[in-house]
């Protein structure tokens, strides 16, 4: 319940701002989007007149995952070339258009999938999702370095599981350490976009395939709405800068 749950709820927040949004599950070996969007038993079987795959639609999001194209939910054991072919198919042979935003949920690490996507499509920006502890920061540092090497702008950092409030007594506990996101932000001169708590309701909502947006006045609802507005502002600024360059 980390990067994928953030990706889905960011996509939903953008959709609620009246943008046309798609979400691509690029984690070939561990796809999570079908579970998060309650589409685990669905397959993408419809094809357009131009021989493109129709993405599935749920909660007003266009969704695509390798799980929608394979015959079973078993483990995918593919070599690098097959993975790259699958990624290209998910990007180029799916009827995504028209979209304002395509959110790509990447697997952890800095492997072939991340590099291939950066080369196949022009990325507006990347959001780094981390937990506060040093073990997570090690991997995120590598991801930041990789995206900068391939000239993908970093929008900012989302610190997940930043704190936990006991529902019975209200005690605050920082289970995964503290200040990790700030340390990373200062090290790379990036902004902390949002700091998200560890929330039992959020975990339950993700497991059940029903987003936290069912609770419109919740703190997480407001945080993801704010995150979506930050992404929109970054996009507009980036487009204006590109036009003037």
Per-residue pLDDT, 171? 64
The answer to the question of residue 177 being in a domain is: no
Per-residue pLDDT, 134? 82
More confident residue, 2 or 91: 91
Spatial distance between the Cα atoms of 220 and 212, rounded to a whole number of angstroms: 7
Mean pLDDT within 200-221: 76
User: If 0-12 CB within 10 Å is exposed, 13-18 middle and 19+ buried, where does residue 210 land?
Assistant: middle
- Phi, psi for residue 64 in degrees, rounded to 5: -145, 140
Q: Locate all alpha helices (DSSP H) within the chain, ordered by sequence.
A: 3-16, 33-36, 80-92, 112-120, 134-149, 180-188, 200-207, 219-244
Spatial distance between the Cα atoms of 160 and 6, rounded to a whole number of angstroms: 9
Mean pLDDT within 63-68: 92
> DSSP code of 131?
-
Please say if the pLDDT value at position 7 is more than 90: yes
* Res. 111 pLDDT band, cuts 50 70 90: confident
CATH value at residue 72:
3.40.50.300
What are residue 157's DSSP bridge partners?
A: 128, 192
Residue 196 backbone class (left: φ over 0; alpha: ψ -120 to 50; beta: rest):
beta
The answer to the question of residue 154 being in a domain is: no
More confident residue, 194 or 166: 194
pLDDT in tens, 38-56: 998 889 988 888 899 999 9
Spatial distance between the Cα atoms of 140 and 131, rounded to a whole number of angstroms: 10
Name which of 57-71, 188-202, 209-223 the model is least confident about.
Answer: 209-223
Please say if the pLDDT value at position 1 is more than 80: no
The answer to the question of residue 175 being in a domain is: no
Mean pLDDT within 202-212: 79
The answer to the question of residue 244 being in a domain is: no
Per-residue pLDDT, 172? 66
Spatial distance between the Cα atoms of 205 and 170, rounded to a whole number of angstroms: 21
Per-residue pLDDT, 74? 64
Per-residue pLDDT, 215? 64
Q: Is the Cα torsion angle 116, 117, 119, 120 positive or negative in sign?
A: positive
The answer to the question of residue 36 being in a domain is: yes
The answer to the question of residue 52 being in a domain is: yes
Percent of the chain with pLDDT over 90: 50
Q: Indicate the number of domains in the chain.
A: 1
Mean pLDDT of the chain: 87
The answer to the question of residue 9 being in a domain is: yes
| pTM for the model | 0.90
Name which of 2-11, 139-148, 215-224 the model is least confident about.
Answer: 215-224
The answer to the question of residue 26 being in a domain is: yes
Q: Quote the tokens at residue 159.
A: 């610190």
| Residue range(s) defining the domain that contains residue 54 | 1-121
Per-residue pLDDT, 119? 87
Closest to 140 measured CA to CA, from 132, 152, 155, 130: 130
| CB-CB contact of 21 with 14 (8 Å) | yes
């Amino acid at each position: 319940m980390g990067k994928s749950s953030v990706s889905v709820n960011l996509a939903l927040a953008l959709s609620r701002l009246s943008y046309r949004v798609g979400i691509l599950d690029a984690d070939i070996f561990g796809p999570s989007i079908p579970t998060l969007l309650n589409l685990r038993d669905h397959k993408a079987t419809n094809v357009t007149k131009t021989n493109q795959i129709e993405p599935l639609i749920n909660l007003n999001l266009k969704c695509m995952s390798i799980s929608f194209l394979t015959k079973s939910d078993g483990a995918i054991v593919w070599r690098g070339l097959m993975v790259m072919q699958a990624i290209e198919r998910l990007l180029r042979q799916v009827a995504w258009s028209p979209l304002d935003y395509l959110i790509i949920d990447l697997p952890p690490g800095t492997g072939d999938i991340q590099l291939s996507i950066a080369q196949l499509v022009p990325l507006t920006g990347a959001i780094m999702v981390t937990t506060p502890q040093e073990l997570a920061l090690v991997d995120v540092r590598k991801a930041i370095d990789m995206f900068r090497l391939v000239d993908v702008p970093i929008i900012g950092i989302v610190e997940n599981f930043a704190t936990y409030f006991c529902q019975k007594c209200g005690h605050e506990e920082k289970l995964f350490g503290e200040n990790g996101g700030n340390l990373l932000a200062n090290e790379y001169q990036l902004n902390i976009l949002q700091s998200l708590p560890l929330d039992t309701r959020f975990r339950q909502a993700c497991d059940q395939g029903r987003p936290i947006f069912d609770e419109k006045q919740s703190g997480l609802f407001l945080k993801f709405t704010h995150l979506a507005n930050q992404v929109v502002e970054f996009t507009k600024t980036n487009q204006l800068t590109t036009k003037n360059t």
